[in-house]
Amino acid sequence: MKDPNEKKQMIINILKDKSVLKQKVADNTFMAFSIIKDILRNLSRDVNANLGEIDQRVRLEYTDRSNFDAQIKVAGDILLFSMHSNTFQFDREHPAWRTPYIQKDRNNAYSGVINIYNFLADSFKYSRLDDLGYLIARIFINHENQYFVEGKRQMGMLFSNYGNEEISRESLQIIIETAIQYSLEFDLLVPPYDTVKIATVGQMEAKIQHSRIITGKRLGFQFNSDDVLPENSRET
């Protein structure tokens, strides 16, 4: 059995090194999330000012939901920005491990995460709790404020950016505007006939009382299989 003093010293070393590192990651991520909230607030104001007398239903609406959650309604869509309060390390199969930046220092693999989800605005309006939302991007930020983005199609960034670019207000602005554009172009598709051709009395009663027929932009399709959708059902 190890000497109790040795164990105590190991605990002290972990607190001084890894735990301090994780706190730095959390602080950097929270700071970036605060900037995201400010960008969303200003973007709503600026876009609405340029929309003129257009239909009020397509105007942007920003909502600060909590310390770790914010949303922006854009026409019929809601983008929910959600920061996880914990610090993570990439799993061993993640491509980030192959970057020179992490290979040089394993501490660079610890990061905070900000997720961007796309929901239908009506899902919240009508309390359709079974409706589907999709993770369209997630932002990773580490103790040196280095970052990269994982996402669908145009939301994705090369891993080679990691270690070469600090997160900034400008980069967050681009990420947010790209996410909004992607969501507006990501259309709600009619589900395949065979998946909805039979309904129970209970489902219809629930729909009538609670509007709970499950709806999502890729209902009937796996989101991670977008690349194999027929051409006439893809985004352009």
Rounded Cα distance, 178 and 154, in Å: 8
Place of tokens 């709806």: 215
Q: Is residue 196 situated within a structural domain?
A: no
Q: What are phi and psi of 93, to 5 degrees?
A: -95, -5
Cα 149 from Cα 175, distance rounded (Å):
8
What tens digit of pLDDT does each residue of 74-100 get?
A: 988 999 999 999 999 988 888 889 889
pLDDT single digits (tens) 5-36: 787 777 777 666 788 999 999 999 999 999 99
- Give the residue from 49, 69, 175 showing the smallest Cα distance to 124: 69
- Take residue 29 and report the two structure tokens written for it: 């991520």
Half-sphere exposure of 180 toward its Cβ, with a 13 Å CA cutoff? 21
In DSSP terms, which residues pair with 118 in a beta bridge? 79, 134
| pLDDT value, residue 153 | 61
Distance of CA 1 to the CA centre of its chain: 46
3-state secondary structure of 29: helix
The percent of residues above 90 in pLDDT, for the chain, comes to 39
The confidence score (pLDDT) of residue 52 equals 74
Q: What angle do CA 231, 123, 225 make, to 5 degrees?
A: 30
Residue type, 21: L
Residue 45 in tokens: 């104001």
Residue 109's identity, in one-letter code, is A
Flag whether the pTM goes above 0.85: no
66 within some domain: yes
229 within domain boundaries? no
Residue 213 resides in a domain: no
Domain that holds residue 121: 4-185
Does the residue 122 lie in any domain?
A: yes
Find the DSSP H helices in the chain.
4-14, 20-51, 100-104, 121-125, 169-185, 193-196, 201-210
Alpha-carbon distance 150 to 128, whole Å?
28
Whether 204 is in a domain gets the answer no
**Confidence label for 123 from pLDDT (cuts 50, 70 and 90):** confident
Please give, one letter per residue, the 3-state secondary structure of 81-138: EEECCCCEECCCCCHHHHCHHHHHCHHHHEEEEEEEEEEEHHHHHCCCCCCCCEEEEE
Establish if 169 belongs to a structural domain: yes
Write the pLDDT tens digit of every residue in 138-148: 999 999 999 98
State the greatest distance between any 2 C-alpha atoms of the chain, in Å, as a whole number. Answer: 76
User: What is the rounded CA–CA span in Å between residue 40 and residue 114?
Assistant: 14
Q: Which of 87-91, 161-165, 216-220 has the lowest mean pLDDT?
A: 216-220
User: Is 232 within a domain?
Assistant: no
**Which distant-in-sequence residues (6+ apart) come within 8 Å of 170 by Cβ?**
none
Q: Say how many domains are in the chain.
A: 1
